[in-house]
Structure 1
Amino acid sequence: MNRRMILSGMAGLATTGLTACVGGSAGVEFHRNLNVRISSTTRYEAARFAGQWFFRGEFVHPGEAPQRGSLDFRPNAGKIAQIALYAANGRVTDIYDVDQPQPGRFTLGKKPYQTEYWVLWVDEGYRTAAIGTPSGSFGWIIDRARKGGEDRIQAAKDVFEFNGYNLARLMMT
C-alpha cells in the first residue's frame, strides 16, 4: 500500500513472467516458496474486518525496515473499498482505492501492475490477521492492538509458515 508494497507487487508480476519464460526460479527472491499452495481464509466478513489495524510484523528483505504505523480498512456497500496507511506518528501517508473481487481478497493498482492481497487468516474475534500475496512479494501480521495477543501472533506466524513463507524474513515491529 506504500511505495514498497506497490513496487513489490510490480516486481512479483515481473518475476512471475520471468519464471514462466525460463521454467525455473529467476529474478527477485520473494518471501514464499511458490511450490507451496496458498489459500485465503473462508472466515471473512468485511464489516468485521473494517477499521484500524496496527502493524505487528512484516516480511522484509535484508536491510529493509518494517512498517511502524497502522492501516484502516474502509468499507462501502459490504466490501472493503479503501485502505488508508498511517505512519507511526498517526499521519495518513497514503489512501488507496481497492477492489474486493471475492471475500478476503483485495486488488490494488491497475493492470498490468495490479496485485492481489489475500487475508490468509483472521482469528475468530477479528483481532489478529495475516495478509499476504500469492507471489510471496509481501506479508503482514496486523492486530487491533499495538501489543499483546502473543498466542494470536504466533498463530499468524504458523499460517505464514504453512503457506510457504520464509519466517527468517519476518521482522516483528
Structure 2
Amino acid sequence: MKVRALLSFASILAVAACDVAFGPSYRDDTVQIASAAAFDPSRYVGRWYEVARYPNPFQSDCPGAIAEYGLSETPGVLTVTNLCLDASGQEIDRIIGTATDEGLGRLSVRLQGVPVAAPYWVLWVDEGYRTAVVGAPNGRVGWILNRDPEIPPDRLAAAREVLDFNGYDLGQLQRSVTP
C-alpha cells in the first residue's frame, strides 16, 4: 500500500482513536459529546464531500477528500472508500475499509493497512441526509461533510453550531478543497 494512502480522509481516525499523544485536541473535553441517536446507516450510504475539517498530519497532503459509503453483505457493516484530493480537486489516492454500526450514530472504522479500528461518531445529520458532522470523543478529528461539493450557508451554519455545541473550537476549523 502506498504511504500516501494513509494520508486520506479517514485514516486519521484509526490513529486518533489511540490514547497516545497525537496532535492537539480541538475539543473542550469538559463538554459532553453527543452522537446522533436517530442515525440510519442505510441513509448514510453514498458519496460525501469533505467541506471542512480540523487540521491533522494524515491529511497534510490531501487538501480535500471524498468519502463513499456502501452496503456490505454483512448486516450492520458499511464499506468505506476515502479519496484524497489534490489542490485542484483531482483524486491522488484512496484507501478502503469498513464501518461497523455500533448504534446511536457511532461507527467503528477499520481501514486497510491501519492496525486498529477507530471511533467515527456522526454528531449530526440533517433530516434529508445531505449534511453531516463527524467527530471523535477525543476531539483530535472532526469534519463537515455534504452530499454536494458546495454546501448551502444555512446547513454550514447548522453544522458549525453542532461542532460548537460538542465543544469543538470553531477557530481551528478549515475549509477543504472541493472538486
TM over 0.5: yes
Distance in 1 (alpha carbons) for counterparts of 2:109 and 2:151: 30
Aligned residues: 162
**Cα distance change on mapping 1:67 and 1:122 into 2, 3 Å:** farther
Deviation at 1:87, TM superposition (A): 3.0
Q: 1:103 to 1:67 in 2, by over 3 A?
A: farther
Residue type matched to 1:73 in 2? Y
In structure 1, runs of 5+ residues without a counterpart are 16-25
Cα 1:44–1:8, aligned 2, differ >3 Å: closer, same or farther? closer
- Structure 1 residue 65, shift from structure 2 partner: 6.6
Q: Deviations over 1:40-86 (max 9, x none)?
A: 01231122111001010001159947641311111235534211112
1:37-48 → structure 2 map (5 Å cutoff): 37-48=32-43
Distance across 1 between alignment mates of 2:37 and 2:115: 27
- Normalised by the length of structure 2, the TM-score is 0.77
More off after superposition, 126-135 vs 4-13: 4-13
Moved more, 42-51 or 119-128: 42-51
Other-structure match for 1:164: 167
RMSD of aligned residue pairs (Cα, Å)? 2.8
Change (3 A) 1:48 1:130: same
Distance, in Å, in 1 between the alignment partners of 2:30 and 2:148 is 33
- Following superposition, the deviation at residue 128 of structure 1 comes to 0.3
Shift in alpha-carbon separation, 1:168–1:65, aligned structure 2, 3 A: farther
Residue of structure 2 in register with 1:135 after alignment: 138
Asked whether the 8 Å contact 2:69–2:79 carries over to 1, the reply is yes
Note closer, same or farther for the CA distance 1:123–1:8 as it changes in structure 2 (3 Å cut): closer
Deviation, structure 1 residue 99: 1.6
Gaps of 5+ in 2: none
Task: Give the corresponding residue for 1:21.
Answer: none
